[in-house]
Structure 1
C-alpha cells in the first residue's frame, strides 16, 4: 500500500513542479505587473504544494520526486518556441496557464480515485480545491482579456 501511495504522491509532486516552473516562466514573460504578481504567487503555491507532498512521501519511507516531468518541460519548450514566432501577450500566457491547470486538475482527480490513507487524501483534497480555484481564476482572467480585445 505505501508503495502505491508514494507513486500517487510522486506523480502529484511532478505536477506541482511543472506548475511551479510554468508559472515562473509566465511571470517573466507577463507584461502587466498584476499578471506578473499573479503568476509569481501561483508558482510559490505550486512549490509549497510540492514540498508538502514531498514531506508525506518521506514520512511513508519513500524517495520524493524533486523535478517536473518531461511532458511539462516539453510544454514549456513549445510555449517558448511559440513565443519566439509570435508576440506573447498576457492573453496567450493565460491560455497556456489554463492548459497547464487543466492537466493539474485531471492529475488530482485521478489521484483522488485511488485508495489512500485518510491523512494523505485530506492533503490531496485540500490541494485539489486550490487547483480548482487557480484554474477558475486563470479562466476568468482569460475571459476578461478576450472580451477586452
Structure 2
C-alpha cells in the first residue's frame, strides 16, 4: 500500500512539473513572437526548446511509473500568457515588459521545482533529473535578468 501511495505522490509531483514546463514552453514561444530583437528571439527559442526537452524527460519518468502524462499546461499558465498579450499591447517598451514576464515565470518555475524536489528523495534518478532542470532554470533566470538590464 505504501509503495502505491509513494508512486502516486511521485507521479503527481512529476505531472505538476510537466505542466509547468508545458506552460513555460508556450510562454517562451509566445514572447518570441512579440519581439523584433533577433538575439532575444533566438534566446527565447532556445529556452522554449529546452523546456520541451525537460517535458520529454518528465514524460518518460511518468511513463516509467506506469502513469499517463498530462497532455497540456495549466489554466494559470493560459491566464499568464493572456496577461502577456495585454501587457505587450499596452507597453511602450515591449521587450522590457516581456522580459519582466519571463522573470516572473522563471521565479514561479523555480518555486515549483523547489517545492516538488523534496518529493523525490527515494528516487535518485528522478531527483538528479529534477535538480539538473532546476539548476538550468535558475541559470535562465539569471540570464533573463541580465538581458532585461541590457534591454531596459
User: TM-score, structure 1 length as denominator?
Assistant: 0.93
Distance 1:26 1:83 in 2: 9
Report deviation, 1:137: 0.4
Q: Does 2:21 align with 1:19?
A: no
1-structure distance, mates of 2:90, 2:101: 15
Cα distance between partner residues in 2 of 1:89 and 1:28 = 11
The residue aligned with 2:69 is 64
Question: Equivalent residue for 1:122?
Answer: 128
Supply the distance in 2 between the matched residues of 1:88 and 1:51 (Cα, whole angstroms): 34
Calculate the aligned-residue CA RMSD, in Å.
1.1
Distance, in Å, in 2 between the alignment partners of 1:80 and 1:88 is: 13
Q: Contact 1:31/1:89 (CA < 8 Å) preserved in 2?
A: no
Shift of 1:92: 1.0
**Partner of residue 105, structure 2:** 100
Cα distance, 1:143 vs structure 2: 1.8
Aligned to 2:33: 28
Give the 3-state SS of the residue equivalent to 1:30 in structure 2: coil
**Residue in structure 2 matched with residue 10 of structure 1 by the alignment:** 15
CA 84–145 in structure 1, closer or farther in 2 if over 3 Å, else same: closer
* Secondary structure class of the residue paired with 2:44: helix
Instruction: Determine helix, strand or coil for the equivalent of 2:119.
Output: coil
Cα gap change, 1:18 to 1:88, in 2 (>3 Å): farther
Task: Say yes or no: does 1:133 pair with 2:143.
Answer: no
When normalised by structure 2's length, the TM-score is: 0.92
